[in-house]
């Protein structure tokens, strides 16, 4: 008894001719070439945009004023800490009320200086727009020195 294999039979009309294969291959090559050209053009546009970004020297110049402010604030903190150390030495075991108030005020000043440092750092972070995190790390390490 013969089975109906019509679903599995190959219809010669569905076959791809060598000419069609060649046309498809040529079309694929052309598509690939256009895609590569598009990618190359896009990369050039991106590179031009990157070239427009702030240069490293511009960033360092910009950080100059912040570096000076950080240095001043850091010196203020060092003086306050030195004053606290000197005050602590004088205090001994029992603190007199007057000296205790002085230390408390100095600690408040440290808090204020710390707040100023945080504010300046936030300002620096918010005002700086760079595409390279390496430049940021470089500049911040220079500020710390």
CA distance linking residue 107 with residue 81, whole number of Å: 9
* Of 83, 77, 145, 64, the residue nearest 117 (C-alpha): 77
Structure confidence by residue, pLDDT tens digits, 97-113: 777 788 788 889 888 98
CA distance linking residue 84 with residue 89, whole number of Å: 9
CA distance linking residue 46 with residue 122, whole number of Å: 29
Residue 136 has a CB neighbour count (10 Å cut-off) of 15
In DSSP notation, 10-59 reads PPGGGPPPHHHHHHHHHHHHHHHHHHHHHHHHHHHHHHHHHHHSPPHHHH
Of 98 and 13, the structure prediction assigns the larger pLDDT to 98
Q: Helix, strand, or coil here: 4? A: coil
CA distance linking residue 73 with residue 79, whole number of Å: 10
What's the pTM value of the predicted model, to 2 decimals? 0.30
Q: What residue spans define the domains of the chain?
A: 16-50, 55-144
* H or E segment and range at residue 104: helix 97-127
Structure confidence by residue, pLDDT tens digits, 110-134: 889 888 888 888 777 766 555 456 6
């Amino acid at each position: 008894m013969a089975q109906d294999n019509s679903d599995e039979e190959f219809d010669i009309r569905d076959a791809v001719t060598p000419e069609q294969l060649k046309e498809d291959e040529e079309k694929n090559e052309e598509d690939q070439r256009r895609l590569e050209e598009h990618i190359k053009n896009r990369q050039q546009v991106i590179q031009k945009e990157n070239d427009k970004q702030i240069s490293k020297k511009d960033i360092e110049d910009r950080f100059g004023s912040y570096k000076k402010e950080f240095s001043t604030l850091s010196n203020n903190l060092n003086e306050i800490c030195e004053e606290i150390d000197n005050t602590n030495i004088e205090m001994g075991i029992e603190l007199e009320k007057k000296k205790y108030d002085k230390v408390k005020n100095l600690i408040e000043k440290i808090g204020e200086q710390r707040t100023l440092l945080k504010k300046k750092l936030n300002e620096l972070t918010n005002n700086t727009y760079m595409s390279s995190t390496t430049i940021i790390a470089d500049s911040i390490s220079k500020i710390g020195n």
